[in-house]
Amino acid sequence: MAESIVNTYKLQQNDRMLQGIVKDAFFFFLFKANTIWQNAFL
């Protein structure tokens, strides 16, 4: 019983980490695209 709780917790931690990475990558991409966009027209 305790093991399954621990495993679920670990899965949630991994999922949260993955979401954080995806979010960081998304914002980084947005920032880069915005910079390129501005450079193209300025």
Cβ burial 5-42 (10 Å sphere, 16+ → b, else e): eeeeeeeeeeeeeeeeeeeeeeeeeeeeeeeeeeeeee
Query: What is the rounded average pLDDT of the residues 13-25?
Result: 94
Query: What is the rounded average pLDDT of the residues 1-20?
Result: 90
Residue of 22 and 40 predicted with greater confidence = 22
> Model-level pTM greater than 0.95?
no
pLDDT of residue 25: 96
pLDDT of residue 30: 95
Domain that holds residue 20: 1-41
Count up the domains in the chain and report the number: 1
